[in-house]
Structures are given as C-alpha cells and as structure tokens.
Amino acid sequence: MKITKMNVTALTIPLKEKFQVSFRFVTDTNVIIVELETDDGITGVGEVTPLPRFNGQTVESIKAAIDRYMRPYIIGENPFKINKIINKIKRAVIENNPAVCAVDLALHDLVARAHNVPVVDLLGGEVRNKILAVIEMPIENPEKSVKRAKNNIKHGFKALKPKVGFNPYEDAERVIAIRKAVGKDVIIRVDVNQAWTIDQTLQFIKATELEDARIELIEQPLPKWDLEGLAYLRTKTDIPIMVDESVFTPQDALNVIKNKSADIINIKQNKSGGIIGSMKVAALAESAGIDYLIGVDDPLGVGTAMKVHMGCALEKLTRACEFTEYMVYSDYIVKKPVPCIDGYVILPEGPGFGVELDLKKINKYKTDVGTVRTEKR
C-alpha cells in the first residue's frame, strides 16, 4: 500500500462571539485539513489550527511546509511506516510542529481505517470510553462571566477554565463570583497565558483563598522561559501549577521536570507534533510522577476526535480535559460531531477517528489560500 494523493485545504470558521484572553481578541479560527489517500482508495484525515501568537505558524507557513517541503517524503510512502514518515518530514521542515501534527493525524486515521479499527486501538486500546470536558471562558466582567458559567453548567458541563491575566485582584473578583454562582462541586481552573509576575500570582492566590474559591490549578502564570520562577511558585502554594507554553517538545518536558517547574503538563497535539509527540510528552510526565491533561487547540471535529482517542488510551490521565469547541465555535467540519453527553465527551465508534468530513462545509469555509492538490501519477 502506498500514499498516492494528498489534499491540503485551509478553512476559516467564525466563533459564536468574540473571545478575549490576556493578549488578544479572537473572532474566528483557521484550520488546515490534510487528506491522504492510498492506491487502495483508503483516505485518512488530519486537522490542525494555526496559532501564530502561540506556535509561530500561520495558515500560509503550515500549508507551504506540508505541500512544498513535506510532500516528497509522503507521496509514494507506505502509510504504515508512520514513524519513518514523521521523522523525515521533521527533518524537511524545522520547528513546524503544527504541520507535522496535521500529517501525523492523517496517517493514524488512515492506518486505523486500513485495519478497520479505531485509532485508540493503535495506541494500546481504550482504558475508558469518555472524558470529562473543561470549557474555557473569556476575560469579561464578573456579571457576564457568571451568566456564561451558568449557561455552561446548564449545558451539562462540570468543569470551567476562566481566562485571567489582567489585574490579579479584578481577576480574583471574577473567579470568586463564578464560584459563588456555580457552587462548590464544579471544577474551576484558571489560565493566565504567561501574563503575570510571581507577585501578581501570589496576590491572586491569596485573594481567592480568602474567599474559598477552590481553584483546581493555575495554568502558565509566568513567561514560558521562567522555569525557576515557576519552581519557586510551587513552594509558595498548594494550588498545582500547570505549564502549557513551557512545553512543546519532549525536550521541553524534560527541562520542566529537571527544574521541578510544574505539577501538571498541558499536552496539545498542535504544539507537540501530533499523536507521536504528545504520547512522548505523556510518557515523560508519567515517568516523573507529574500529572498531565489534554488541552484545547481549536479543533473542529477531527482534532476533537483525536483528543478523545488519545485520552481514552492514556491510563494515567485523571484530570478533566479541554473541549471548549463545544461552546465557542459556530460550526464543525465533520458530518456528525463527537458526542458530548452530560459534560463527558464520548469515544466515537467506527474505524479511524470515527468522524467523516462534511464536504459541503469544507467548500463553504474554504479560505482564499485555496486548496493545494498533489498527486503521484
């Protein structure tokens, strides 16, 4: 079996409403879709979201990397040789993990479909069939935050992640208001996106502890490079510190482990280069006795399914994972979205990732960058 065709498509899909984090407003999301087809007519699909402020890659850079530079190492190859292909394309384009991610997902989907099994079986098999979902919340005033939190709970969700990163006292006021509105049983974690100093983080912690806000964890309070500062914070609070921007690669995870900079690692396929890179980060965390969870990186169907398959294969995964897409995006790119029932995202049934692209929606949301089609004749 050989890969004979590759389609690379760029999409832009609007959010339901503007979403504010500590460093920007978000109004829509861009998506790159990679379709790989074999000479046997089997197709695998991968998805990735360009996040320039987060991973340095744009729609254009990811599409160019895949189609111009990775293509020669994909077309004509046996899709079962996933590691071989991934190693080659990583050497072809340095430090473009989102591009690697899209190809990685497409290969796993294709191989699983070729064997008529779900992707989770390629990862060792399922140890659970559902994952508790966390919904992110934008930075806004306390009244709007309370209203949004109640709406999320109304939809069955049991875990929330308000974005913070402005004034720590104002952020604390908003988080305390959310806690009072949703009660003590809802999980609340906060994401700072590198926006605070050590003193600001400690100010927030003190203010929320005085009101018994019960913060599950604080995500990336300091700049990603400040591993010593993160390690110091861990000595000053019992609230777990989670890193996100500090860990892209397995090497990054090793540095965090060596510096004792985190209690938890937020794993994202986008930044780690797909399933292979993400599973390596998870293995390192497990070996070091550090918790981890699977974070949100703006998937619109295929990536959502991937997160569930990977999460259901990771035995040591104990924390709720991030599926903000269920409450933020206006549409999906698959015919039938991954089911979410009573706050839990359910492992899809069927071969591969268990989802199928909706071609009408692909055509509807296709961007001006267009579709690049490559084929070995």
Residues 55-79: tens digit of each pLDDT: 788 999 999 999 999 999 999 999 9
Q: What amino acid is encoded at 136 in this protein?
A: E
pLDDT of residue 52: 80
pLDDT of residue 21: 64
Do residues 252 and 277 make contact, with C-beta atoms less than 8 angstroms apart? no
How confident is the model over 162-186, as a mean pLDDT? 97
Q: Using CA atoms, how far apart are residues 354 and 283, in angstroms rounded to an integer?
A: 25
How confident is the model over 17-41, as a mean pLDDT? 82
pLDDT of residue 148: 96
Q: Is the whole model's pTM more than 0.85, yes or no?
A: yes
CA angle in degrees (0–180, nearest 5) for 39-88-2 = 10
**Higher pLDDT, residue 15 or 343:** 343
Domains of the chain: 3-116+358-368 (3.30.390.10), 121-346 (3.20.20.120)
Q: Inform me whether the pLDDT recorded for 349 exceeds 50.
A: yes
pLDDT of residue 53: 75
Handedness of CA 226, 22, 54, 326 (dihedral sign): positive
Residues 223-240: tens digit of each pLDDT: 999 999 999 999 999 999
C-alpha dihedral, 340 to 345 to 351 to 357, nearest 10°? 50
pLDDT of residue 132: 98
Residues 76-133: tens digit of each pLDDT: 999 999 999 999 999 999 889 999 999 999 999 999 999 999 999 999 999 999 999 9
Do residues 338 and 355 make contact, with C-beta atoms less than 8 angstroms apart? yes
